[in-house]
Structure 1
């Protein structure tokens, strides 16, 4: 299938207009000169509707498109207290005329009780989002099954209250990992190919940060559908081991879902798995805890290009990319795109999240 066919297949799906697409794609000239490779940035952080955005906005367009079609009035979603996904879904709900509700967890042992609203929390507060907090002992609620159960029970109770009052409620899993949304980033891949072609560039590698696994399935499905030779490399910010909460097997199943949704042929699992390369060496001490590498990467990109990545997700992903260049895993002269999925709101979080980016 060519890019036009991909666009036609996606165009048949319910969709709610929220962001501004295509998002920009541009060269990082100063950083490229410093490293001897050709860096490009795909700017999902500029998707809108507000100035702090990210890759979840694309997911929301398809998830909320189906929700509006189904008569949904309220959307409940979840995440850690500094969630980018929660913020983006809340903003998308406001655009779509739906009521957002957030259930957020916080590792109070590490980060303390919430004393003031900062970063994404402040933006959610400004939008007037109904927000519920639950304390956990780990960096994210998925660290312990009992925490997952508590969050699910609380959301289901609120859902029951709303439905008893005559509302219709959609529950979206953490990170926007809902089946209706996985197809969204097939469009991100399509845009990157079109934009790089316009610059006369053939991409060799696409790097991105991987957490809840919502960006890669659509992009990888589109690659398989179009037959493009570009390779993906994913830098993890949480464990990606088989048998765990997230794993390559989860990505394989989601890729198959996207291909099925678009009416494309579904290859053997081994074919899809061969396209997945996840590097877990840049997680650091824990989720939402800064690492020396991520702090250095945030500073380096900002000082070369005036562009900001965030401390929880994209800083760690960009740190992995720079390490791969320095250690020779990327050949000199390669054309590399980094998918900037957002996370800039977390630069205004507490030092235990951001680290010292000023030195």
Structure 2
């Protein structure tokens, strides 16, 4: 140990190397400067490219989760993985690709908010890619956000349990992974993302002051926080929400604290008290917009600004809103001039080819 409170890099790496993992992606993912955007804002912006994780050109941060979850699943003889999400789910797409790569059959249970988006009549965006991979999909029409509505969530759960029972009756071993890739085996994955950024920022000759990312189902933040705390790094992690994360909601800061403690325990690192971990959580909920998976003026403007400055694309459901939050912080002075800031690009570019309600009017 470096001291009583922190691990050294060798211990950190050794703890992760002991965990079962099915390699699918291409790591470390790139880390590079956004030079034109930096000049425009007087802040040194960098981007960590989880969208380039593979195995295909459209990827994202859930691939890291899938590697650890499927590593354990293969040890346990799992034959099928059922996971869920909205019909345009990034997580579902990435888990499906990872499962196929690992020789496991993926099944997706997807929801479609019919009042908002209409009946699903054509294949677009991530749903098109899932159908191209010939993934078994079950679409449940809902009338709102099933993350908040208990009756809608129950219909999804019933669909999953019925399909699971059918497969088990046929002798298969089925693993169910929650919305967004929520599973205890996966939370450690983004401790590695943090570890890679330390090496890459050092190679670039800078020390990061801030890391920005988008938070929804809370699968990235626990690993990032656990790595920061266990290694004793001073960087501040800021999260831009794409759904409500108040204490009364299913996903909230208290859940992040518990997941972070679990990752620290897996690493064999000291586990601080809840207040210490909670003090590291900084979630901005001002950029959710009208609703999850609905474009906002801020996100479409952020997509345009990045694309026109750097030729890099973020997506409308997650990363566009996260990037919009970071740019607002830059303009408002919440990020001091001259700071070194990394944006964690977690994917979502497949949804740029969705319907206008999702994508917005980015070509205007």
Q: Same fold (TM over 0.5)?
A: yes
Deviation at 1:4, TM superposition (A): 2.5
Unaligned segments of structure 1, at least 5 residues: none
Distance 2:14 2:32 in 1: 26
Corresponding residue of 1:355: 360
Question: For the Cα contact (< 8 Å) 1:290–1:355, is it kept in 2?
Answer: yes
Alignment match, 2:297: 292
Q: Does 1:151 align with 2:160?
A: no
- 1:120, distance to aligned residue in structure 2 (A): 0.2
Write out aligned runs for 1:233-252 (5 A).
233-252=238-257
147, 166, 186: which one pairs with 2:191?
186
Task: Check if 1:160 corresponds to 2:165.
Answer: yes
Q: Please give the alpha-carbon distance, in whole angstroms, between the structure 2 residues aligned to 1:339 and 1:313.
A: 11
Provide the residue aligned with 1:59 in structure 2: 65
Distance 2:73 2:152 in 1: 27
**Shift, 1:2, TM fit:** 2.0
Query: What's the CA shift for 1:259?
Result: 0.8
Q: Is the 8 A contact 1:79 1:141 kept in 2?
A: no
Q: Does 1:106 align with 2:112?
A: yes
> In 2, Cα distance between the equivalents of 1:56 and 1:9?
21
Aligned: 1:224 with 2:229: yes
Instruction: Tell me the alpha carbon deviations over residues 70-107 of structure 1, each in whole angstroms, 9 at most, x when there is no partner.
Output: 00000000000000000000000000000000000010
For 1:123 and 1:141, how far apart are their aligned partners in 2?
A: 23
Q: For 1:2 and 1:332, how far apart are their aligned partners in 2? A: 31
Deviations 1:27-75 (A, max 9, x none): 0000000000000000000000010000000000000000000000000
Say if 2:69 is the partner of 1:77. no
Q: How does 1:33-52 map to 2 (within 5 A)?
A: 33-52=39-58
> Is 1:17 paired with 2:23?
yes
Offset of residue 3 of structure 1? 2.2
The alignment covers a number of residue pairs equal to 358
Match of 1:333 among 298, 316, 338: 338
Give yes or no for contact 1:79–1:175 (8 Å, CA) kept in 2.
Answer: yes
List structure 1 runs of 4+ shifted beyond 2 angstroms. Answer: none
Hey, what does 1:118 align to over in structure 2?
A: 124
Q: State whether residues 148 and 249 of structure 2, in contact with CA within 8 Å, keep that contact through their aligned partners in structure 1.
A: no
8 A Cα contact 1:100 1:130, kept in partner: yes
Alignment match of 1:301 (pick from 288, 306, 322):
306
| 2:211 aligned with 1:206 | yes
Q: CA deviation at 1:143?
A: 2.4
SS in 1 for 2:147: helix
Mapped partners of 1:41, 1:64: distance in 2: 27
Q: How many Å apart are 1:291 and its aligned residue?
A: 0.6
TM-score by length of 1: 0.99
| 3-state SS in 1 of match to 2:183 | coil
Structure 1 counterpart of 2:92: 86
2:328: which partner in 1? 323
Equivalent-residue separation in structure 1 for 2:157 and 2:69 (angstroms): 19
Q: Give 1:243-282 correspondences, 5 Å limit.
A: 243-282=248-287
CA distance in structure 1 between the aligned counterparts of 2:173 and 2:264, rounded to whole angstroms: 29
Looking at structure 2, the residues matched to 25 and 199 of structure 1 have their Cα atoms a distance apart, in angstroms, of 9
Range that drifts further, 343-352 or 4-13: 4-13
Q: Which runs of 5+ in 2 are unaligned?
A: 1-6
Residues 1:175 and 2:176 aligned together: no
Aligned to 1:133: 139
> Is residue 189–residue 219 contact of structure 1 (8 Å, CA) maintained in 2?
yes
Query: 1:289·1:312 contact (CA, 8 Å) conserved in 2?
Result: yes
Mapped partners of 2:331, 2:11: distance in 1: 39
| Root mean square deviation, CA, Å | 0.6
Distance 1:213 1:286 in 2: 18
**Alpha-carbon distance between aligned partners in 2 of 1:137 and 1:211, rounded to the nearest angstrom:** 20
